[in-house]
Chains A and B, each alone.
Chain A
Amino acid sequence: MDKTRTRTLQQKSSAKWLIHLFPLPALLVYVIFVLYPLFSAFTYSLYDWKGIAKGSFVGLQNFIMLFQQEPYNEMFARAFGHNVIYFVGEMIVQNGIAFALAYIIYRKIRGAEFLKAAYFLPRLLSVIIVGFLWKLILNPNFGALNTLLAKVGLQEWARPWLGDPDTALYAIILVNSWFGIGFAVLIFLAGLQAIPEELIEAARLEGAGGLRLLTRIILPLCMPSLTIMSVLTFIQAFEAFELVYAMQGSMGEPYYSTDTLAVFFYRLTFGGAGGGDTVAIGLGSALAVVLFAIVASVSALSLYVMRKREVQH
């Protein structure tokens, strides 16, 4: 073997080794700033904490406290209930209206591009801007909504939307729907447009029209996009924090009527739970584990179901 040939061989093998550097930067940043903090939070939940100093190992004590001791257990149950309402409300208002709008656009309408862009525009704003804007609009004295109601003769309907415990949570759900509807329209529209034209044609030839066509053919064939949107809505509902924080503060006012698990988590972690300023990192971490379990299990399950369905097709 002559010398030049050995050199090229060596160069080749060193270049080959270098390829393993390619995934490294992504892997490092992802592990250090996403995975490591999450798994640390899991271990934190098993320790007693004094402020931000880690104390002794206490096993499942924090979880027991979260579920059994007042006021934590009450706050947990109430916030969990609100998350469920949030999810159901979003499914009905946001996704229900979005599907109707997507269906109308799918059936051809003049100005479809304009409509899609208009619905979508709010989605681009920061949630904090959305929250603050609507706080001004819903203001009981000078807000645009109550003024509008008075103008059209419905002044009895006017109320302090965000100050009344009976309406505050629903007001936030509606604002969130305003924010998210355009995205849902696009997802549903993509689902509708993926239905093969022949299938609808064939069904129509057999006399299926209007409602029957919608419920028997279109809805079942839209299942993938409906599933995706339901899962995204679920995740978003159970992580709901920013809008509540922007509009009702970290106490989920009035009287915790808009409190969610993520807001409760924020209070435990950064102070404000149980009235005082004390932080409860052990409890907060326990709540983080519970929240993670809820969100991850639903998204894993849906992923599994979707993959299975893909195989069947």
Chain B
Amino acid sequence: MKTSIAARSLQVLFAYLFALIALYPILLMIGSSFKTNQQIFANPLSLPTSFSFKNYAELWEAVPFADFLWNSVIVSVASVLLILLFSAMAAFYIARFSFKWNGYLYFFFLLGLMIPVKLGIVPLFLLMKKLGLLNSLWSLILIYTGSGIPISVFILTGFLRTLPVQLEEAARMDGCNNFQVFWKILLPLVRPALGTVMIINFIQAWNDFFFPLIFIQKEELKTIPVGMLSLFGEYEANWSLLFAGLTLSALPMIVVFLLASKQFMEGLTAGAVK
């Protein structure tokens, strides 16, 4: 294209400048977590001169971080597994059978794409209270499963519709019933779409802080994001501790992203573009 070299270099500069803006705060967070309060307050921008894990040891004493981590893992893994199973079953029914109500059923699920789940928080709170699920991780697992289902059914149904029916027919000829067709033939074939669904919902469940803020009061049942809320409430002036907390909270997701950045970026945009 006819762009002058000067204009093009300006563009490249712009692109890399924004990469710096995106990454610098995260590097600052990690770097500050190794500094003392005096070092942070005297020179917030400098890199740590030595790597001391004192802040992390102190953090471990200050809040039950291992509990937070464990709760986040349980809630995210359980809700993602339930979403995968339930949505795949529903999508199988919608995409592979032609009952006359299937169109309505699909539309009914899609309605959920427009619903801001948080707006139902008061009835949801009263419902959880009635079910005895306040201060239980189940309250979070159920709400994340419910709110993740519409987008997941949407993605999986779309994907299932693109698969040819021959394999399935052959399996049925060989005497497979519906469960076997679903479990042994189709589920392995939709693996790419299941990956997308997994990533979208995992990020959602792992990072959410609204629902645990409302449903979970007990310290030892908090997930990482609300755990940070109590840390910041109690140790407002202890910045080195706060940076250590933020770094440790962000770390699991950053590591997972570095391992599978392509899948993450494709997965998250797939849900929006389709």
Contacts and interface: CB of A to CB of B under 8 A. Distances in A.
A147 B19 CA distance: 21
Given A142-B41, A142-B44, A38 B23 contact: no
Interface string A141-183: 0111001100100000000000000000000000000100111
Contacts of A300: 114
B89 interface: yes
A288 B119 contact: yes
B142 A29 contact: yes
A241 B15 CA distance: 30
Interface in A1-59: 15, 18-20, 22-23, 25-27, 29-30, 32-38, 40-41, 44, 52
Given A33-B145, A143-B44, A187-B272, A18 B178 contact: yes
A68 interface: no
Interface residues of B, number: 92
A177 B162 CA distance: 36
Contact of A121 (B87, B210, B257, B272): B257
Contact of B146 (A30, A41, A120, A190): A30
A52 B126 contact: yes
Chain A interface category by residue count: 35 or more
Given A105-B15, A118-B19, A209-B2, A22 B89 contact: yes
A60 interface: no
Contact of B178 (A19, A147, A204): A19
Interface of A: 15, 18-20, 22-23, 25-27, 29-30, 32-38, 40-41, 44, 52, 97, 100-101, 104-105, 107, 109-111, 113-129, 132-134, 136-137, 142-144, 147-148, 151, 178, 181-183, 186-187, 190, 204, 209-210, 225, 228, 232, 235, 239, 241-242, 262, 265, 269-270, 281, 284-285, 288, 291-292, 295-296, 299-300
9 contacts: A32-B146, A33-B142, A37-B117, A117-B265, A122-B22, A122-B26, A126-B209, A187-B272, A209-B1
Q: Which 9 A-B pairs have the closest CB atoms?
A: A37-B120, A33-B146, A40-B123, A126-B207, A26-B90, A26-B86, A118-B19, A37-B123, A22-B93
Interface of B: 1-3, 11-12, 14-16, 18-19, 21-23, 25-26, 28-29, 40-41, 43-45, 82, 85-87, 89-90, 92-94, 97, 105, 109, 111-124, 126-127, 142-143, 145-147, 149-150, 153, 177-179, 182, 203, 206-210, 214, 224-226, 228-229, 232, 239, 242-243, 246, 249-250, 253-254, 257, 261-262, 264-265, 268-269, 272-273
